[in-house]
């Protein structure tokens, strides 16, 4: 007999918003910037049969990501690292190859927060104050430690800084493979975060962006009409549009395939469109924005 599954979390909401990225107050920017790490991004461009030159150039000039092997946490709280990278740009770091349910996971956000999702054993040995993970409350075996590295009091000589430094060096010398990207506030800054790690005898390897493209020339696409009832076949609602977008992203929509996904609602005129799916180990919010 199967055990009863408890679901204490609310299901996510589907939010569809029409906005203009040129508008600084648009909602899309806020949503994008709130998602620091993303695995892939899909772009549908109606009226094009190949990638526009402007978008191609943007992808070619995209900010670099590096894989750095066995980064000691003590290096991330050194004054040189804090002053030259955390305080002078948008820093994205994430442990690579670690499992969120069984291993330690580390991230650094552009806000300057170092967040550690730790096993109970690591947490108790580390000796820093944290909270139980809300996503593992039943097993009670994971803890979250948050360190604000941009806090004015997080400087050498202050009690909390010295406590963190001692925990990372003398108590536990933790090292993790990390994905790293840094965007300086000032384009004139010549500092290189990969060079910094290489100066500390750490292997730093660039991670390239992978793109998959599809061009559809005879595939119909749905029309949204919020005034139509939900069971109408004259148009689609937003959830159906979301399903259609997902089928395009997964490349499983085919009007000629009887087993393929084809909406049953009214469709618009067939307009050629280009679909770009950019895949990377991770894509951070500023790159999307």
Kind of pairing, strands 142-148 and 175-184? unpaired
Confidence of residue 5 (pLDDT cuts 50, 70, 90): very low
Confidence of residue 155 (pLDDT cuts 50, 70, 90): very high
Domain ranges of the chain: 27-62+217-288, 65-207
Distance CA 18, CA 181 (A): 30
Interval 27-54 mean pLDDT: 75
pLDDT score of 38 more than 50: yes
Instruction: Kindly list the distances between the CA atom of residue 242 and the CA atoms of 64, 121, 152, 277, in Å, as whole numbers in the listed order.
Output: 31, 42, 44, 16
pLDDT at 51: 76
pTM: 0.74
Q: Which of 23-27, 183-187, 193-197, 242-246 has the lowest mean pLDDT?
A: 23-27
Interval 261-287 mean pLDDT: 54
Confidence of residue 120 (pLDDT cuts 50, 70, 90): very high
Kind of pairing, strands 113-119 and 105-108? antiparallel
Polymer length of the chain: 289
Residue-wise pLDDT for 75-95, tens only, equals 999 999 999 999 998 999 999
Q: Which residue would you say has higher pLDDT here, 112 or 252?
A: 112
Confidence of residue 208 (pLDDT cuts 50, 70, 90): confident
Confidence of residue 1 (pLDDT cuts 50, 70, 90): very low
Distance CA 173, CA 185 (A): 31
Residue-wise pLDDT for 17-27, tens only, equals 777 767 777 77
Confidence of residue 279 (pLDDT cuts 50, 70, 90): low
């Amino acid at each position: 007999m199967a055990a009863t599954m408890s679901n204490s979390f609310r299901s996510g909401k589907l939010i569809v918003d029409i906005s203009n990225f040129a508008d600084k107050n648009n909602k899309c920017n806020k949503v994008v910037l709130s998602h620091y790490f993303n695995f892939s991004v899909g772009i549908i461009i109606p009226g094009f049969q190949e990638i526009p030159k402007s978008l191609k150039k943007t992808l070619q000039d995209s900010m670099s990501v590096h894989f750095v092997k066995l980064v000691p946490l003590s290096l991330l709280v050194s004054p040189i690292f804090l002053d030259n990278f955390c305080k002078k740009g948008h820093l994205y770091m994430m442990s690579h190859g670690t499992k969120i349910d069984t291993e330690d996971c580390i991230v650094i956000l552009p806000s300057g927060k170092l967040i550690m999702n730790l096993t109970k054993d690591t947490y108790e040995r580390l000796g820093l104050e944290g909270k139980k993970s809300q996503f593992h409350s039943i097993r009670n075996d994971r803890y979250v430690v948050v360190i604000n590295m941009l806090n004015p009091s997080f400087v050498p000589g202050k009690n909390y800084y010295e406590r963190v430094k001692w925990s990372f060096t003398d108590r536990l010398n933790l090292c993790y493979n990390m994905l790293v990207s840094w965007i300086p506030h000032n384009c004139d800054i010549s500092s290189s975060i990969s060079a910094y790690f290489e100066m500390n005898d750490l292997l730093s390897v660039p991670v390239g962006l992978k793109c998959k493209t599809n061009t559809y020339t005879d595939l119909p696409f749905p029309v949204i009409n919020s005034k139509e009832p939900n069971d109408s076949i004259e148009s689609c609602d937003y959830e159906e549009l979301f399903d259609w977008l997902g089928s395009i992203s997964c490349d499983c929509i085919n009007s000629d395939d009887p087993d393929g996904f084809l909406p049953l609602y009214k469709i618009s005129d067939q307009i050629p469109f280009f679909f770009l799916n950019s895949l990377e180990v991770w894509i951070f919010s500023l790159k999307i924005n």
